Structure 1
Amino acid sequence: MVDVAVDTAVGVHLVGGMKAADSETAMRLAARILSGHLYALPDGETGERNQWIAWQLDKLTGIEGIEHAGTKTMPAPENRAYAEMPALAVDASVTELPARSLGYADAAEESYAIFRRLREEGAVPPDVKFQVAVPTPYATVVAWVHEQDQERFFPVYAKAIAEEVKAIGRVVPANDLLLQFDVTLEVGVLTGAFVAAGRMGTMEFITGALRDALDAAPGVERGVHFCYGDLGHRHFTVPKDLSLCVQLGNAIADQIEFAHMPADRETGRSPGYYEPLRDLKVKRLALGVIDFEGEEQRTRELIEAAAKGSGGMRFAAATECGMSKIDERRAGAPSLEDLLALHARFAEPIR
């Protein structure tokens, strides 16, 4: 029985990252605590992947013609941790990236073998899918590449990500796969926190690029994680409501089965934050109502505000972002086990 009087939080969505020693540890722990709550299970994005796209810096600079080139300044993030970002210079000779050089397909193949073994052992329920998250190509290019090289390099990196996605589809059967695209830098550019080169800064380009990225995985269950940033578990822009997420979600609603959206721990306590959801056309929804600091009262308030503001819409319970960096916020932060248990307490099981 959930710890709130509403039944709108049904099931759990794990955004991706989990603070664990390795993928097997992450999957075993999540499956044990959330067995009846999970539709899909990610591998925890452990090891070199635990800082989202930061590992792409090494992957890209290992390719001839791409090198570190100081830093670049982002114009107006509310979280100043985003103000200076590492920067890459990309030579005009880089017109194609080596096959599977970005690492996403290799990581998925390795983790899927573990997932299957755990499922055969009975540690993972038989009807739970394997969830794989990849960034949109827009995210890595805008985050790391110098502005003067972005428009030229974007189609090169987009093609490489599409090939990684296709390779994932070859190692994970479509009926076993849930593919999630992480949409973050798009939100940052549209809210003025970050800058993208030329036409890449327009809503038209952003939605078109997102549709193209989703098209790389036909026949696979797909969704998106909308994010306002997570360095120190603070946003680059604090969302006043979910209107931008709904606008972006509706632009791709015919291509996706689910969308995850953040519930800011302050502004998300107002029902008005969730009122744009009444216009959402996406089939399934997950909301980041589980408080990163483990506060039960705040979690309760977020869920109740979401229920009221959305008009009683059902959603899966989630944190705002992944849980790989839960100790960055403050000393004595809750453990991964504690946060997973908080999900189970505040959401109804789905089976």
Structure 2
Amino acid sequence: MEHTNVTGAHLVGSINFDDAETTMRTAAEHLGDRLKRIPDGEVGERFHWIAFQPGRIAEAEGIERVGDTPIPLRMLDIRPIRIADGVNPASLTLPPLGYAEAALESWETFARLQADGVIPDGTRFQVSLPTPLGVVGSFVRAEDRAAFEPVYEAALARELDAILAAIPHERLAIQWDAALEFAILEQAAYAERGGKRYEWFDDAWGGTSERLARQIDRVPADVEVGVHLCYGDVAEKHFVEPADTANLTRFANLVVAAAHRPLTWVHLPVPIERDDQEFFAALSGLEIPESTELYLGLVHREDGVEGAERRIRAAQQHVRRPFGVATECGFGRAPEGTTIPLFETHRAVAAPH
């Protein structure tokens, strides 16, 4: 059953197919009129989000791995990295991070499929990128984070610039994935109760939101830009379950206020067990423009259409504006065979754009 103010669907990024063409063809076939953008599924070394970044960074002279024993994740070694003793961080030159290379390869596939009529005209190619904070906070030795952050941020900006130079702006959309931000914000609340502080900067809320706004503003006005707010997805579990949407709402409001350019969309997660109005109540205070699309990640493979509709009904008590649907995170690591049913659930509960 389509709901009157539930319009469109959004794919967060990772999808459990082996190649970009399969991802794009299948998304277009099953959700073509629901999607404004199609990603490449984050295939290859990007299969586990940012887990391939330590290997890329460690190729730089002046960077070392922490520990002598590799930590394997399929073809990857996810040991953290550190700045070598005596190295001036300002002298570090990072190699290509892999994001531009992957985007340009997938863009060729997207453009061909769109020219062949497989992907509808007007659909944009979506490139999902991590925030610099996410990579630095996840894989850099704690005492090196403050010094290394500007080095990595500059390297990621070069990746973005290469993407912007190669892909027509009117056919491109950039998504910034903000996950570690919520680990920091939840940890900040824990620190206030006497726990250990996580972040390497003073103001958790201001520091995280202003950093994300800076990345949003790197994207030119003629390119769409969105944010995926995330509580993690290891083995399809959050690192902590959000108690409600209060922190998500507060963070989104801060980011929109800090950014100089408009935000095209905001996506936020909805845990499978949260079909209660209390979870959604804080969204009544979401201060984003009507022109900014809102996607609620309330589609779950375990309970399909029935579960999505329950969560939609609860959300509609507090979200008075149109919104679209999504999963709460990417589903590149979901069990094989679950993708088509997930696509069909999106289609069943959301009207076309």
TM-score tier, shorter chain, comes to 0.7 to 0.9
* Alignment partner, residue 74 of structure 1: none
* Alignment partner, residue 262 of structure 1: 269
Determine if contact 2:107/2:167 at 8 Å carries over to the other structure. Answer: yes
Distance 1:176 1:281 in 2: 28
User: Residue type matched to 2:309 in 1?
Assistant: R
Distance 1:170 1:20 in 2: 28
Matched, 1:321 2:324: no
Determine if contact 2:60/2:95 at 8 Å carries over to the other structure. Answer: no
Residue 212 of structure 2, aligned match among 199, 206, 210: 210
Determine if contact 1:151/1:197 at 8 Å carries over to the other structure. Answer: no
> Normalising by structure 2, what TM-score?
0.87
Size of the aligned set, in residue pairs, is: 327
Residue 293 of structure 2, aligned match among 255, 261, 284: 284
Determine if contact 1:294/1:334 at 8 Å carries over to the other structure. Answer: no
CA apart distance, 1:44: 0.7
CA apart distance, 1:313: 2.5
Distance 1:33 1:238 in 2: 31
Aligned pairs (5 A) from 1:14-53: 14-53=11-50
Q: 2:34 aligns to what SS in structure 1? A: coil
* Alignment partner, residue 200 of structure 2: 198
Q: Against the structure 1 CA distance between its residues 65 and 196, is the aligned structure 2 distance closer, same or farther, given a 3 Å change threshold? A: farther
Matched, 1:227 2:236: no
Distance 1:201 1:184 in 2: 17
Q: What are the ranges of 5 or more consecutive residues in structure 2 without an aligned counterpart?
A: 69-77, 191-195
Matched, 1:341 2:344: yes
Distance 1:8 1:99 in 2: 46
Distance 1:239 1:124 in 2: 36
Determine if contact 2:184/2:199 at 8 Å carries over to the other structure. Answer: no
Which segment drifts farther, 41-50 or 254-263? 254-263
* Alignment partner, residue 310 of structure 2: 301
> C-alpha offsets along residues 194-249 of structure 1, whole Å, 9 cap, x if unaligned?
95443166222112211221222122211100000111111111011111111121
Determine if contact 1:130/1:177 at 8 Å carries over to the other structure. Answer: yes
Aligned pairs (5 A) from 1:129-148: 129-148=124-143
Q: Against the structure 1 CA distance between its residues 97 and 338, is the aligned structure 2 distance closer, same or farther, given a 3 Å change threshold? A: farther
Distance 1:166 1:279 in 2: 35
Q: Against the structure 1 CA distance between its residues 51 and 130, is the aligned structure 2 distance closer, same or farther, given a 3 Å change threshold? A: same
* Alignment partner, residue 75 of structure 1: none
User: Residue type matched to 1:153 in 2?
Assistant: F
Q: What are the ranges of 5 or more consecutive residues in structure 1 without an aligned counterpart?
A: 72-84, 328-332
> C-alpha offsets along residues 45-68 of structure 1, whole Å, 9 cap, x if unaligned?
111111000011211112222222
> Normalising by structure 1, what TM-score?
0.88
CA apart distance, 1:12: 0.6
Distance 1:200 1:123 in 2: 49
Determine if contact 1:200/1:206 at 8 Å carries over to the other structure. Answer: no
Q: 1:89 aligns to what SS in structure 2? A: strand
Determine if contact 2:10/2:326 at 8 Å carries over to the other structure. Answer: yes
